[in-house]
């Protein structure tokens, strides 16, 4: 029962469109963010929980395995496959919808979602965030969230390799 409820939060594009229409009909405030989320850690939880607080439904775009490889994060990445990463994110009570995207950027996905709030880490300059133009044109806001210091997938990977 619980596993099914978690899996039901993972959407293919066509399913996501139907879900989004329902959420818009209910006047939900849609928040969107994206990333690899390779090894889920405290920094991710902090970031995603703060993103969820900015609206009523948090939609997370997850880079596909191929997309992660193209980002150049290293030959061992992703460590976990896209299905595992999506399932872990869906298990968080404050996520509402998870979808995997294969493009190099989430621009097309942001165009589809039309979020009220677009969120990225504070390492990004707001005007440089992919989808900034789309969200602003639709009257939405673009927000950055500070990362929790000392937490990164790369640091965890390096620690594992050195032990």
Residue 107, pLDDT score: 98
Over pLDDT 90: what percentage of the chain? 85
Phi, psi angles (nearest 5°) of residue 99: -145, 145
Q: Is the pTM above the cut of 0.85? A: yes
Torsion of CA 18, 21, 27, 28, to 10 degrees: 40
Arithmetic mean of pLDDT, 75-97: 96
Residue 158: pLDDT above 90? no
**Cis preceding linkage at 78, omega within 30:** yes
* Confidence bin at 127 (pLDDT 50/70/90): very high
Query: What token pair was written down for 7?
Result: 């899996």
Arithmetic mean of pLDDT, 82-87: 98
Q: Whole-angstrom Cα distance, residue 97 to residue 77?
A: 24
What is the set of domains in the chain, with CATH numbers? 2-162 (3.40.50.620)
* Confidence bin at 103 (pLDDT 50/70/90): very high
- Inter-residue contact 31 to 54 (CB < 8 Å): yes
Return the minimum-mean-pLDDT range out of 57-61, 116-120, 157-161. Answer: 157-161
Looking at beta carbons, which pairs linking 10-14 to residues 24 or more positions away fall under 8 Å?
Answer: 10/86, 10/87, 10/90, 10/98, 10/99, 11/97, 11/98, 11/99, 12/99, 13/99, 13/112
Residue 62, pLDDT score: 98
Query: For residue range 23-80, what is the model confidence (pLDDT) as tens digits?
Result: 999 999 999 999 999 999 999 999 999 999 999 999 999 999 999 999 988 888 899 9
Residue 160, pLDDT score: 81
């Amino acid at each position: 029962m619980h596993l099914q409820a978690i899996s039901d939060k993972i959407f293919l594009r066509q399913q996501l469109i139907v879900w989004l229409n329902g959420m818009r009909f209910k006047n939900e405030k849609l928040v969107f963010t994206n990333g690899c989320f390779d090894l889920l850690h405290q920094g991710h939880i902090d970031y995603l929980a703060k993103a969820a607080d900015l609206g009523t439904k948090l939609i997370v775009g997850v880079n596909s395995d191929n997309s992660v490889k193209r980002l150049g994060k290293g030959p061992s990445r992703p460590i976990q496959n896209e299905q595992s990463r999506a399932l872990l994110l869906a298990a968080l009570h404050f996520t509402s919808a998870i979808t995997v995207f294969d493009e190099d950027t989430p621009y097309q996905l942001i165009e589809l979602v039309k979020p009220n709030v677009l969120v990225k880490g504070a390492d990004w300059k707001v005007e440089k965030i992919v989808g900034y133009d789309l969200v602003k044109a639709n009257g939405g806001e673009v927000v950055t969230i500070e990362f929790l210091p000392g937490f990164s997938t790369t640091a965890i990977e390096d620690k594992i390799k050195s032990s």
